[in-house]
């Protein structure tokens, strides 16, 4: 029995040591989903076929519209509004002079991740990765893991009465 304990302790130490000192051997966490491992999907395609992407890691490229509380605290796809915030992308199937959010796509992200996105503005092109965790109401509900601004909307410079740019 004593030999079994020693062998178990030795094996446990080896596993812990490998996880600490050998990069990449530890299990990847949800937050570390590489974009290359995700299925790229258009937002409208995801809305049209949410069941096809259930429990899959996905990558979406779209135009950020605004933050919202849409979809939070809804029991069948619960995410706590104290910990999460929702955001909307713009519909891509309309002329560019229309700004209508794609409210059927529920994108939920942890509030602490959003606090790092100070430069984000409506109209910015963004890339996100996440996992479709529910299709409640026949809508896709996505836990957003990574969020990246691909291009920023041109910021208009304010001009004073004297013609100086601010």
Whole-model pTM: value is 0.71
Smallest Cα–Cα separation from 61: which of 38, 83, 79? 38
Q: Calculate Rg over the CA atoms of the chain.
A: 22
Please give the structure tokens belonging to residue 32: 């570390």
- Residue-wise burial string across 103-132, b where 16 or more C-beta atoms lie within 10 A, e elsewhere: bbbbbbbeeeebeebeebeeebebebbbbb
pLDDT tens digits for range 76-90: 999 999 999 999 999
Residue ranges of alpha helices (H) inside 22-82 are 43-48
> What pLDDT, on the 0 to 100 scale, is given for residue 5?
52
Average pLDDT over residues 131-155: 92
pLDDT of residue 18 exceeding 50: no
pLDDT tens digits for range 80-135: 999 999 999 999 998 878 899 999 999 999 999 998 888 899 999 999 999 999 99
Domains of the chain as residue ranges with CATH = 37-151 (2.40.50.140)
């Amino acid at each position: 029995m004593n030999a079994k304990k020693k062998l178990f302790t030795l094996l446990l130490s080896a596993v812990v040591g490998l996880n600490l000192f050998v990069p990449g051997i530890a299990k990847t966490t949800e937050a570390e989903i590489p974009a290359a491992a995700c299925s790229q999907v258009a937002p409208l395609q995801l809305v049209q076929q949410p069941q096809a992407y259930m429990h899959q890691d996905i990558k979406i490229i779209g135009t950020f519209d605004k933050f919202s509380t849409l979809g939070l605290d809804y029991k069948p796809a619960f995410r706590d509004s104290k910990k999460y915030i929702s955001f909307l992308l713009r519909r891509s199937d309309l002329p560019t002079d229309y700004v209508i959010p794609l409210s059927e796509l529920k994108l939920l992200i942890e509030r602490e991740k959003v606090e790092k996105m100070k430069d984000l503005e409506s109209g910015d092109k963004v890339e996100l990765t996440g996992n479709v965790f529910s299709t409640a109401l026949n809508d896709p509900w996505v836990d957003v893991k990574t969020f990246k601004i691909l291009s920023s909307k041109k910021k208009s410079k304010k001009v004073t009465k004297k013609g100086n740019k601010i």
